[in-house]
């Protein structure tokens, strides 16, 4: 039996930290758009300046369901080793601040958001 060689070119993407994800679906696929939002400083402008990078991952529904199972397994093992995952105190504080500003009558567009 002869073995046939194949050439495989691998393109490795850059490491990517996702601050948020948007998920949408069609009848045949689920699309996850992972976003990395980074504040930038622009001395010419007094307005907030952000850089947005994103990577899109598309899965068929069966693979999406398999991914849920894998993630659930990994998170369970993580929590067994390192303890229960909890929302960071800084996010709890930011949410409290947003709620207080909203109760003072500020419009959502006036309230800074830290959750993307």
Tens of pLDDT along 36-48? Answer: 988 888 788 778 8
In this prediction the pTM is 0.66
Instruction: Let me know if residue 116 belongs to a domain.
Output: no
Domain that holds residue 31: 20-104
Instruction: Let me know if residue 4 belongs to a domain.
Output: no
Instruction: Let me know if residue 9 belongs to a domain.
Output: no
Instruction: Let me know if residue 5 belongs to a domain.
Output: no
**Over the range 31-64, which residues count as b (16 or more CB within 10 Å of their CB) and which as e?**
ebebbeeeeeeeeeeeeeeeeeeeeeeeeeeeeb
Instruction: Let me know if residue 111 belongs to a domain.
Output: no
Interatomic CA distance for residues 47 and 30, integer angstroms = 35
**How many domains is the chain partitioned into structurally?**
1
Structure confidence at residue 16 (pLDDT): 86
Instruction: Let me know if residue 15 belongs to a domain.
Output: no
Instruction: Let me know if residue 7 belongs to a domain.
Output: no
Tens of pLDDT along 57-86? Answer: 999 999 999 999 999 999 999 999 999 999
């Amino acid at each position: 039996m002869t073995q046939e060689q194949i050439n495989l070119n691998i393109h490795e993407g850059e490491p990517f930290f996702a601050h948020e994800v948007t998920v949408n679906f069609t009848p045949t696929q689920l699309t996850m758009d992972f976003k990395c939002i980074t504040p930038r400083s622009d001395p010419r402008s007094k307005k907030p300046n952000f850089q947005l990078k994103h990577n899109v991952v598309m899965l068929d529904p069966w693979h999406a369901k398999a991914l849920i199972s894998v993630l659930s397994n990994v998170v369970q093992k993580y929590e067994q080793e390192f303890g229960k995952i909890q929302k960071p105190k800084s996010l709890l504080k930011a949410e409290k601040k947003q709620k207080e500003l909203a109760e003072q009558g500020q419009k959502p567009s006036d309230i800074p958001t830290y959750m993307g």
